Amino acid sequence: MSDRTHARACPERTCVGCRERAVKTDLLRAVVVEGECVPDPRGTLPGRGAYVHPALVCLDLAVRRRAFPRALRAPGQLDTKALRLYVERQTVAEQATP
Ligand SMILES: [Zn+2]
């Protein structure tokens, strides 16, 4: 038996868009695969990851600030099309659900 009743089991990460801290599971992980920034919703891809809210506002902010290349240590520009498409789909799916 343990007397540690308030052990926090929720790791937090900072969103590269709005820079707010959030529970890891509320954020979308993005990794670089062959020079492209791709979503890693299950967090299973190897390598360095960047975390962003799965929202277009945060994604756009991150892209405008070049936060992805910085967070992912990628030289130059990163293609974020796949990531954007993923977030767009998520947003549409959410809006379609009553
Ligand atoms: Zn955010």
Task: Quick: pLDDT tens for 8-42.
Answer: 678 999 999 999 999 999 999 999 999 999 999 99
- Looking at the DSSP bridge assignments, the partners of residue 4 are none
* Confidence at residue 77, expressed as pLDDT on a 0 to 100 scale: 83
Give the number of C-alpha atoms closer than 13 A to the C-alpha of residue 65, restricted to the C-beta side.
16
* Confidence at residue 62, expressed as pLDDT on a 0 to 100 scale: 97
* Confidence at residue 8, expressed as pLDDT on a 0 to 100 scale: 64
**What one-character-per-residue DSSP string does 55-77 give?**
SHHHHHHHHHTTHHHHHTT-SS-
Evaluate whether the domain defined by 12-96 bears CATH number 3.30.1230.10: yes
Spatial separation of the C-alpha atoms in residues 66 and 33, rounded to whole Å: 17
- Asked if residue 91 lies in contact with residue 56, where contact means CB atoms within 8 angstroms, the answer is yes
- Asked if residue 77 lies in contact with residue 32, where contact means CB atoms within 8 angstroms, the answer is no
Output the average pLDDT for the chain.
90
What's the CA-to-centroid distance between 38 and ligand 1, angstroms?
17
% of the chain residues with pLDDT over 90: 77
Residue 53 has pLDDT above 80, yes or no: yes
Which DSSP symbol is given to 32?
Answer: E
| pTM metric for this prediction | 0.84
What's the CA-to-centroid distance between 8 and ligand 1, angstroms?
22
What's the CA-to-centroid distance between 27 and ligand 1, angstroms?
8
Each domain of the chain, given as residue ranges in start order, spans 12-96
